[in-house]
Amino acid sequence: MIDLHSHILPEIDDGAQSLNEAVRLCALGRINHIKKIVATPHFNAIGDIDNFLKQRDDRLSVLRRETEKNNINTKLYAGAEVFVDDDIFYSNNLKRLTINNSKYLLVEFSFYGLKIKHVSDYLNEIFSMGVVPIVAHPERYEFFQNDYDAVNEFASRGVLFQLNAGSLASRDGREEFELAYEMAYKGIASFIATDAHSLAHRPNDIAEMLRQFPQDINPELMNKMLVINPQIVLSDDDMPRIRYRRIEKRRFY
């Protein structure tokens, strides 16, 4: 498997807090069959990008060396999880933050006070820079939980979505699970990743989580979300137009 979203680098954000913890996360990922990990530390769209990239790349080299020393056979790649707000309209550097220097950018939004209209404008702005947005954990946002149709609409415009494995494993709330499940089941999500922060908080024990997933998601779709699509991103190939059914609110109880 390929983990497209992780906070595995030490001492750069709220993820791994030491090199030791970062190595242990790589090891845990490896025994959970994660062979490639993209390190995606948090970045604010208007922050000091040069400084961020230097810090990220330094830590990445250190972690690569350390995993090799410990015989952990995991390939590490560079990326970022870019926090997008109104600052995006003043930013012209987003291309430098893409996953493995591809055209794909992992983005997140504020959990509070945002309307779908804002999100829509942000996504348009990103497309206009020649970058393809991958929305991290859409299932965690209230504005999507309350408006499944917005997800349908964004998907029709080519926005890509990454679900957190923990949501599908019911480690988060009910609303998160329901939206994530519907998106996975109907094929509207393109990726599943761990968003791993630490061994204690949202770890990357994905093989364990897969056992907790609803078992009626099409295996072919699962393979796309966990292996094939993330590899397309790493190789900077074009994502084939996804075929999905419109999502709608269902009730499970």
3 near Fe ion, rule: CB under 5 A = no
Q: How many CB atoms lie within 10 A of CB 40?
A: 32
Q: Which is nearer to Fe ion, 119 or 185 (CB)?
A: 119
Q: How far is the CB of 241 from Fe ion (least distance, A)?
A: 27
Q: Which is nearer to Fe ion, 107 or 184 (CB)?
A: 107
81 near Fe ion, rule: CB under 5 A = yes
Ranked by CB distance to Fe ion, the top (closest) residue is: 195
Q: Comparing C-alpha atoms, which of 231, 208, 160, 149 is closest to residue 182? A: 149
Where do the H-state alpha helices sit in the chain? 19-31, 49-69, 116-128, 142-145, 148-156, 165-168, 174-186, 206-212, 219-223, 229-234
Q: Which is nearer to Fe ion, 36 or 197 (CB)?
A: 197
Q: Which is nearer to Fe ion, 81 or 176 (CB)?
A: 81
Q: Which is nearer to Fe ion, 186 or 204 (CB)?
A: 204
Cα–Cα distance measured from residue 211 to residue 169, given in angstroms and rounded to the nearest whole number = 8
Q: How many CB atoms lie within 10 A of CB 226?
A: 21
Q: How far is the CB of 229 from Fe ion (least distance, A)?
A: 18
Cα–Cα distance measured from residue 32 to residue 20, given in angstroms and rounded to the nearest whole number = 18
With both helix axes pointing from N to C terminus, report the angle between 174-186 and 148-156 in degrees, rounded to the nearest 10. 40
Tell me, by CB under 5 A, how many residues bind Fe ion: 2
Cα–Cα distance measured from residue 236 to residue 246, given in angstroms and rounded to the nearest whole number = 27
Q: Which is nearer to Fe ion, 38 or 187 (CB)?
A: 38
Q: Which span (73-81, 149-157, 204-212, 237-245) binds Fe ion, by CB under 5 A?
A: 73-81
Cα–Cα distance measured from residue 34 to residue 196, given in angstroms and rounded to the nearest whole number = 12
Q: Which span (76-84, 126-134, 156-164, 202-210) binds Fe ion, by CB under 5 A?
A: 76-84
Q: Which span (49-57, 74-82, 86-94, 209-217) binds Fe ion, by CB under 5 A?
A: 74-82
Q: How far is the CB of 133 from Fe ion (least distance, A)?
A: 15
Question: Site residues for Fe ion, window 43-72 (CB under 5 A)?
Answer: none
Q: Which span (26-34, 78-86, 113-121, 172-180) binds Fe ion, by CB under 5 A?
A: 78-86
Q: What is the dihedral of CA 210, 197, 231, 148, to 10 degrees?
A: 70
Cα–Cα distance measured from residue 95 to residue 130, given in angstroms and rounded to the nearest whole number = 8
Q: Comparing C-alpha atoms, which of 165, 7, 22, 166 is closest to residue 79? A: 7
Question: Site residues for Fe ion, window 141-200 (CB under 5 A)?
Answer: 195
Binding residues vs Fe ion (CB under 5 A): 81, 195
